[in-house]
Amino acid sequence: MKEQLIQQAYDVAKERYAAIGVDTDMAIAELEKQQISLHCWQTDDVVGFERNEALSGGIQTTGNYPGRARNIDEVRHDIEFVKTLLAGNHRLNLHEIYGDFGGKFVDRDQVGVEHFQSWMDWAKANDMKLDFNSTSFSHPKSGDLTLSNPDKGIREFWIEHTKRCRRIADAMGRAQGDPCIMNIWVHDGSKDTSVCRKRYREILAESLDEILKEDLPGMKSCVEAKLFGIGLESYTVGSMDFYEGYCATRKVIYTLDTGHYEQTENVADKVASLLLFVPELMLHVSRPVRWDSDHVTIMNDQTLDFFKELVRADGLHRAHVGLDYFDASINRIGAYVVGARATQKCILSALLEPLAKLREYEANGQYFERLALLEEAKTLPMGAVFDYFNWKNGVPVGEDYIKNVQEYEQKVTSKRK
């Protein structure tokens, strides 16, 4: 019965969209190809396996909902489960602190490919590709400044760490036959007014140049800007302007975290400028509430507009889509699925936009017609297309996945004490 309804609703939707020149089958095929890099850190509140201590260094999780993954097996198990609730094939985004350290303490300047061998084996067995991140936070040497630190010893420690991470990413990329995207985000900044703003930025640029010097064809590097870190509110070394300039001049991938902007800012409008000057984008799809709070991604105007701009700029194939939020106040697995599916919905909505017709109107100066079609497109039956997409891919349709998450909680996460 349900299957029949999904099919019928899809048939109707398909016709409605066809009438305005949109091919829903093509949009679905496109969405099926779109991989989302799942952020491993949603499973365990960004703790990792290095020292099993709470997160520190510019970012924070809030809440203590039971069931956090406590070790590598639990993280893997959770991700394997999340995958069963998502249509399409997705990637896993690892942070360095999630290495398989075999119960030993491995400092950041000692990490090597061997600590990620079991992840590569697991990824292969689960048909997942890996992405990677160096980790500057939650370490005694994190302080306020890492790669931009005037202290040579500390700076070199972090340079060494980041270089090693790039080599790990390179090994991952070669093993999976697809570039591993490695993100560099450092929290560097100052709680109060700094009078050496230029100096730290100069040092950061030099450190990055040094790190990126090594040619590693199996991986691609990206650098992430931020508005501010917690406890570092007055000054951020790696600000938006800093990285926009850096990426444009060095031809490096720009990581755009949608949570890292003032809430009144039009983040979507950045896409069409950035894509003119940087080679590609890495996206951290997130949701700020009043500040960079890393709330679970939902299908809201900001996220919808963002993906529409990306598609309008013909930039979907130049963007690596990843998630970045960490909500410890609700079921973490549920949070994962809600955010990933919301991202898919926003991408689908962008793919279903009657762009050819809209552009024709614009070219003719028919601005009323453009506005009217933009308005009407908002209420076309996108949900029927999304349901069909999930059904066709054998994953729960609509709200059905709530009970899958509840079952998993009952059987698995609630037993973690």
Active site residues: 185, 224, 226, 257, 260, 284, 292, 294, 324
Question: Which residues have C-beta within 8 Å of that of residue 206, sequence separation ≥ 6?
Answer: none
Tokens of 14: 């398909």
Name the minimum Å distance from CB 366 to ligand RNT.
41
Q: Which residues contact ligand RNT by CB under 6 A? A: 41, 46, 59, 133, 185, 224, 226, 257, 284, 324
229: left (phi over 0), alpha (psi -120 to 50) or beta: beta
Nearer to ligand RNT, 61 or 344 (CB): 61
> Which of ligand RNT, Zn ion, none binds 133 (CB below 5-8 Å, type-dependent)?
ligand RNT
How far apart (Å, rounded) are the C-alpha atoms in residues 130 and 117?
Answer: 12
CB of 259 vs ligand RNT, minimal distance in Å: 7
Question: Please, which residue, 294 or 409, has the CB nearer to ligand RNT?
Answer: 294
Task: Give least dist CB 411 to Zn ion, A.
Answer: 32
Helix (H, G, I), strand (E, B) or coil at 4: helix
Q: Which of 340, 327, 334 is nearest to 413 (CA)?
A: 334
Residue whose beta carbon is closest to ligand RNT: 185
DSSP symbol at 230: B
Instruction: Report the interface residues with Zn ion, using CB under 5 A.
Output: 257, 284, 324
Residue 406 Cβ vs Zn ion, minimum distance, rounded to whole Å: 29
Give the number of other Cβ atoms within 10 Å of residue 281's Cβ: 23
- Which single residue is written with the structure tokens 């630190």? 149
Phi, psi angles (nearest 5°) of residue 403? -70, -30
Of 42 and 349, nearer to ligand RNT (C-beta) is 42
When the beta carbons of 257 and 309 are compared against Zn ion, the nearer one is 257
Query: Which of ligand RNT, Zn ion, none is residue 243 near (CB under 5 to 8 Å by kind)?
Result: none
Q: Which does 96 bind (CB under 5 to 8 A by kind): ligand RNT, Zn ion, none?
A: none
CA angle 146, 148, 153 (to 5 degrees): 60
Which residues fall within 8 angstroms of residue 363, CB to CB, at 6 or more apart? Answer: none
Instruction: Report yes or no: 137 and 187 within 8 Å, Cβ to Cβ.
Output: yes
Which option in ligand RNT, Zn ion, none does residue 387 bind, with CB closer than 5 to 8 A by kind?
none
Supply the minimum distance, in Å, between the C-beta of residue 221 and Zn ion: 15
Distance CA(321)–CA(332), nearest Å, equals 20
45/66 Cα distance (integer angstroms): 11
185 or 361: whose CB is closer to ligand RNT?
Answer: 185
Q: Binds 226, which of Zn ion, ligand RNT, none (CB < 5 to 8 A, cut-off by type)?
A: ligand RNT
